[in-house]
């Protein structure tokens, strides 16, 4: 039975990858951080009681900032495949906590690769590094490929650039089977609530159900190439099954604006949104309502405003990936379109909002966080 170790198992990708590998028959180990409250919601459904025989899903407390802890876990598990998905992954937050982001995202990767070397696992453990389209930052060519030059635009992207080259360097220097997946944005109903797509689907569902008055957004003209996380974790695995380690761009090859994603989400709720004004004065007004999904709204309500708080000190305005290499060498095609993904996310967030509304109507007041 093959063994995989996943850092970031409690995150969006970690949870989908764990499911995927369990289905493939792997024994799956994950590193989770100690937190003062539960942080395993995304993996609770696949949790196995460690007291039962033959459990194939095992969690270890750990942190990417702690070398001795990482080395000990690697030594215990001796994984065939190590997926480094753990990261302080929020670009805007990296401007607030640049040093911590570098420690986790850059040095964390180095710590894992050094642990592989220290333990003599160079020939046994294949290594996947969660690289990112943020490396392209101020883009030098469109669409972006494996050979497009990098120009990172945030402490997050700079840290990920260190990690990217560290993976390449350990491949070249020590023969470790290390691959960078340069993944463009990918989302799902399990996406963190403060990333733009989830903020929109959750925010609009809450507004439609009367739980929040308004959605506050940053640069809604940013352009992104969005795919579904389920499609993308399949690729993370496939990269490690090749004869030789290589780096791959994973993207859909289609680009849309944040504004477009807002319109799709609103439409899923039966709302037509009209944008008025310009720049920081721009607002989104309900122009029409169809169906039963927005009982708390009337035509003419302003449900979207721009807040300068959500603009970044240096923005990545546009990203569009060219996944030709992955298609050709890995036989990969994304299965889920961005529109279908948006519909899935809205449906899930609407269910949550309806449940919270019902609880509120029965006197159980729930705090709704609108931070993002």
Instruction: Please report how close the Cβ of residue 365 comes to ligand NDP at its closest, in angstroms.
Output: 27
148 catalytically annotated: no
Contact call for residue 7 and ligand GDR (CB under 6 A): no
Partner interacting with residue 372 (select from ligand GDR, ligand NDP, none; CB below 5-8 Å by kind): ligand GDR
Of the pair 61, 280, the CB lying nearest ligand NDP is at 61
- In the chain the first and final C-alpha atoms are separated, in Å, by 41
Q: Residue number with the shortest CB distance to ligand NDP?
A: 11
The count of residues interacting with ligand GDR (CB under 6 A) is 24
Give the bridge partners for 223, in sequence order: 257, 318
Round to whole Å and give the CA distance between 122 and 8.
22
Of the pair 273, 319, the CB lying nearest ligand NDP is at 319
- Kindly write down the DSSP assignment for every residue of 59-107, as one continuous string: EEE--TT-HHHHHHHHHHH--SEEEE--S---HHHHHHSHHHHIIIIII
Contact call for residue 100 and ligand GDR (CB under 6 A): no
DSSP code for 150: P
Round to whole Å and give the CA distance between 103 and 110.
10
Contact call for residue 322 and ligand NDP (CB under 6 A): no
Partner interacting with residue 10 (select from ligand GDR, ligand NDP, none; CB below 5-8 Å by kind): ligand NDP
Contact call for residue 132 and ligand NDP (CB under 6 A): yes
Binding segment (CB under 6 A) for ligand NDP, from list 85-93, 265-273, 275-283, 358-366: 85-93
Partner interacting with residue 8 (select from ligand GDR, ligand NDP, none; CB below 5-8 Å by kind): ligand NDP
Round to whole Å and give the CA distance between 4 and 6.
7
Contact call for residue 132 and ligand GDR (CB under 6 A): yes
122 catalytically annotated: no
Round to whole Å and give the CA distance between 84 and 326.
20
Of the pair 32, 191, the CB lying nearest ligand GDR is at 191
Binding segment (CB under 6 A) for ligand GDR, from list 136-144, 145-153, 195-203, 232-240: 195-203
Cis status, amide bond into 190, omega within 30 of 0: no
Closest residue by Cα to residue 315 from 246, 236, 223: 223
Closest residue by Cα to residue 293 from 271, 265, 276: 271
Please report the sign of the dihedral spanned by the C-alpha atoms of residue 142, residue 143, residue 147, residue 150. Answer: positive
Contact call for residue 134 and ligand GDR (CB under 6 A): yes
Q: Which of 219, 242, 337, 370 binds ligand GDR (CB under 6 A)?
A: 219
User: Which residues have CB under 8 Å from 347's CB, separation 6+?
Assistant: 268
Active-site amino acid positions? 132, 134, 156
The footprint of ligand NDP (CB under 6 A) covers: 7-8, 10-14, 31, 33, 35, 39, 63-65, 85-89, 104, 130, 132, 183, 185-186, 192
């Amino acid at each position: 039975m093959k063994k995989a170790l996943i850092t970031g198992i409690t995150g969006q990708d970690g949870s989908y990858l764990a499911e995927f590998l369990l289905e493939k028959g792997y024994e799956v180990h994950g590193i989770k951080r100690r937190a003062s409250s539960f942080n395993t919601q995304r993996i609770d459904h696949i949790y196995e009681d460690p007291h039962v025989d033959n459990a194939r899903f095992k969690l270890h407390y750990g942190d990417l900032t702690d070398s001795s802890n990482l080395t000990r876990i690697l030594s215990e598990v001796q994984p065939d495949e190590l997926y480094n998905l753990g990261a302080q992954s929020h670009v805007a937050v990296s401007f607030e906590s640049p040093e911590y982001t570098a420690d986790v995202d850059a040095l964390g990767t180095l710590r894992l690769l050094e642990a592989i070397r220290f333990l003599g696992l160079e020939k046994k453990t294949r290594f996947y590094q969660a690289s990112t389209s943020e490396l392209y930052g101020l883009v030098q060519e469109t669409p972006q490929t494996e050979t497009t030059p990098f120009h990172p635009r945030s402490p997050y992207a700079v840290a990920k650039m260190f990690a990217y080259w560290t993976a390449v360097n350990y491949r070249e220097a020590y023969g470790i089977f290390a691959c960078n997946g340069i993944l463009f944005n990918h989302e799902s109903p399990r996406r963190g609530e403060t990333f733009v797509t989830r903020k929109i689907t959750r925010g609009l569902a809450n507004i439609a159900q009367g739980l929040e008055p308004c959605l506050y957004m940053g640069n809604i003209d940013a352009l992104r190439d969005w795919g579904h996380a389920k499609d993308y974790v399949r690729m993370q695995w496939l990269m490690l099954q090749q004869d030789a380690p290589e780096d791959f761009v994973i993207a859909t090859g289609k680009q849309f604006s944040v504004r477009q994603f807002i319109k799709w989400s609103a439409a899923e709720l039966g709302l037509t949104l009209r944008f008025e004004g310009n720049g920081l004065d721009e607002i989104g007004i309900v122009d029409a309502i169809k169906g039963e999904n927005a009982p708390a709204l009337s035509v003419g309500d302003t449900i979207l405003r721009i807040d300068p708080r959500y603009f970044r000190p240096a923005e990545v305005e546009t990203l569009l990936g060219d996944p030709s290499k992955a298609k050709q060498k890995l036989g990969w095609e994304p299965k889920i379109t961005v529109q279908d993904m948006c519909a899935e996310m809205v449906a899930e967030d609407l269910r949550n909002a309806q449940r919270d509304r019902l609880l509120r109507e029965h006197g159980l007041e729930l705090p709704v966080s609108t931070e993002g």
